[in-house]
Amino acid sequence: MIQLTEVWYWAGENQILSDINIHVKGGELLCIVGPSGAGKSTLLRLIHMEIFPTQGSVIVADYNAQMMTEKQIPFLRRKVGVVFQDFKLLEDRDVFENVAFALWATGVRRKKIKKRVFQVLAEVGLSHKRYTLIPELSGGEQQKVAIARALANEPFVLLADEPTGNLDAESTEEILELLKRINGRGMAILMTTHKEDLVKTLPARMLQIREGKIVG
Ligand SMILES: Nc1ncnc2c1ncn2[C@@H]1O[C@H](COP(=O)(O)OP(=O)(O)O)[C@@H](O)[C@H]1O
Ligand SMILES: [Mg+2]
């Protein structure tokens, strides 16, 4: 599903990741835990193929980073849902439009878009807020919109980069519950956090990252 083998990443003179070996299996919940600056986001950017390894192999589904063409990138992105700490939503749009945009951008037809948006909003428990503008939502609700958007194109894996990093304790709990539920339905999830306590209670496999290395 996702296979990183002996991956090294340098940004100029700086060694950011060294000798990373990670295998994510179908349906798995994997947490990457490590302090700020350890390389968690860089790791996810490699899987999303926003950046490419300096050395080593990154394989995501049928896509091999070494052989990627410009044309293939959008197809890969459809298959990999991404959620960020700061949500990255369109602030001047409502919930429906934010999720619909992800589908519209990949050429889905209008009638199908509506059906799918309603479906994923129901999945994250936000059907009643579908026409609410983003700034009128709580942080937890905004993250649920971002998760709905990430699921819209039926990806095979969800990458969540510190998804609770900007949330209070209550919303954090809700988002973790939601991710657990989504994973329970068979979706593979790869999430990062700098808070080890947070993921200890999750039915997850945990990898520790420090200074660009997997240490446990
Ligand atoms: N493009 C880049 N150029 C230089 N340094 C970078 C670049 N991207 C990341 N870094 C550095 O790599 C390290 C890991 O960053 P990051 O992956 O964002 O860590 P984390 O997400 O665990 O906080 C940090 O020290 C960061 O400053
Ligand atoms: Mg980060």
Tokens of 16: 């950011």
Predicted pLDDT at 91: 97
Flag whether 171 is in a domain: yes
Q: Is residue 3 part of a domain?
A: no
Is 159 domain-assigned? yes
CB of 37 sitting under 6 A from ligand 1: yes
The predicted structure's pLDDT at residue 201:
87
What residues of the chain score a pLDDT lower than 70? none
Q: Please give the pLDDT value at position 157.
A: 97
Whether 59 is in a domain gets the answer: no
Structure tokens at 172: 């954090």
Which pLDDT belongs to residue 69? 94
CATH code of 153's domain: 3.40.50.300
34 CA: nearest ligand 1 atom: 22
All residues with CB under 5 Å from ion ligand 2 = 40-41
Note down the domain range covering 89: 24-38+67-204
**Which residue's CA is minimally distant from atom 1 of ligand 1?**
11
Does 14 sit in the ligand 1 pocket, CB within 6 Å? yes
Cα 68 to Cα 70: distance, rounded to the nearest angstrom: 7
Whether residue 4 lies inside any domain: the answer is no
Instruction: Locate 75 and state its tokens.
Output: 């197809």
Please give the number of the atom of ligand 1 that sits closest to the Cα of 162: 21
Is residue 108 one of the residues assigned to a domain?
yes
Which atom belonging to ligand 1 lies closest to the Cα atom of 39? 17
For residue 2, what pLDDT is reported?
97
Answer whether residue 15 is part of any domain: no
Task: Work out whether strand 14-24 and strand 2-11 pair parallel, antiparallel, or are unpaired.
Answer: antiparallel
The total domain count for the chain is 1
Q: Compute the C-alpha angle 21/23/29, nearest 5°.
A: 125
